[in-house]
Amino acid sequence: MKIKQTIVAMFCLGILAVSCKKDQTEIAKLSYQTASDSLITLKIDKELTLAPKISGETNRFQWLENGKEVANTATYTFKKTEPGLYNIEFNVENSKGKTSLNYRLRVLGPYGDGVLLLSYTDETGLGNAGLSHMDEDGTIQMNIFSRVNPGASLSPEANNLYQFNNQYYISSSTGPNFLTVVDAQTLKLNYVVNQSGASNVTYFATTDGKTGYVNVTNRRKSGLYPVDLTNKTISSTILEGSKEVTLIPINTVNQAIVTGAGKQLIKIEAGKVVVLNTYKENVSGVVKASDNSYWLGVQGSATNKAKFVKLDKSNKGIDSVELAVNFKVPANGVLTSGGKDEYLYWQETSRGVICRFNTMTKKAEEFVNHADAGIIFATCWKVNPKNGELYIADSPEIFSGGEPFSNLYIYDKTGKLKKEVKKAGYQITDMIFPQ
């Protein structure tokens, strides 16, 4: 009897153990192969296999691309021929339920990384403007606009490469296309603005993609001219109150045009000029620093020191730093920044020196001396927001009548020359870093 009871007890324990083992099944766990896999950037036509780590039992796999099922396997090979943002969801199921993992993939066009360089002219010095592109590996491609748009060309004397949303606006002084608008990823032509009442168009800016403004090199008719991007026309009427606008890039702050007009800082509101403040000397520009703050440069003179002024959200000065007398921060020094660190850069044009101001330490310093670096005539300088490196375009033959090529000098944040690129364009006037 006892033996039978023992056997029954052992049998019951076995059943209980199996039952407990079944109850121990857990929902599957998912994780990325690497920590950075939640947001991935790749170029068109490049294949990428997504292979998440899976722990636990699985009965079913499912991949969704922008909500549409595309596969039922443990891995998924992603490849696109068009740039854009894609949301990829991976689901696994077992008896306990479903687990999900999300990927965000940004697909770049062929010119969606590196640096894009705008040439004022072609190799003859007399022809159409052009675009060159240097990718992340340092490979240069010349004259890419005409390659992407067969039969089309940029107009001569291009000055400005401006980005708004997913488009670039390329300005030209002589026309016939005073503004050429292209897709920022592919450089395919969208439209042109060839009706202009203003001559010598130089810099352009827009904050809504509908209305923009240009300034001009014609000093007798200086000021801001409205641009109707819907009807594709540039007005012949100067915006009232903008006559003193300096011939430098038109600055924008928090989706509004806030720029210098002589000694005034002005803002465009509902198509009208509003004076925000007046200073003792000319405004040199307004640029962004790493903490989303904006800083205003004020030019120095024999009687007033140059200074930087930090602006609050209403564009009022909340901090002011005077510089040493050797810094003048001239308006034609083109104040610039990457917007991602504490440094603001400009050229002391009378001395041929690139200087910078540290918004954290409130100190200015000389950064690159052109004579020491072998730079003959800098025609453009910009900061790569991805790493803070300073790019300087040098056009050494600009006044000699020789070939109008430009060399590109790249400096790291310590001031060390990282790379020199020969013949990166022809009299480079602007550059932009796709983001």
Tens digits of residue pLDDT in 26-40? 899 999 988 777 789
Residue type, 19: S
Region 141-160: mean pLDDT is 96
Residue 111 and residue 119: Cα distance in Å, rounded? 16
Structure tokens at 387: 């790493």
- pLDDT reading at 378 higher than 50: yes
Answer whether 0.75 is exceeded by the pTM.
Answer: yes
Domain ranges of the chain: 30-108
The 10 Å Cβ neighbour count of residue 424 is 24
Region 120-125: mean pLDDT is 95
Q: What is the dihedral of CA 61, 65, 67, 68, to 10 degrees?
A: -80
Residue 83 and residue 129: Cα distance in Å, rounded? 26
Residues 203-257: pLDDT tens digits?
999 999 999 999 999 888 999 999 999 999 999 999 999 999 989 999 999 999 9
Q: What angle do CA 429, 430, 433 make, to 5 degrees?
A: 160
Q: Give the mean pLDDT of the chain.
A: 92
Residues 312-328: pLDDT tens digits?
999 999 999 999 999 99
Secondary structure class of 226 (helix, strand, coil): strand
- pLDDT reading at 388 higher than 70: yes
The 10 Å Cβ neighbour count of residue 102 is 12
Region 267-281: mean pLDDT is 96
Region 327-340: mean pLDDT is 96
- The domain made up of 30-108 is a member of CATH 2.60.40.10: yes
Residue 420 and residue 424: Cα distance in Å, rounded? 10
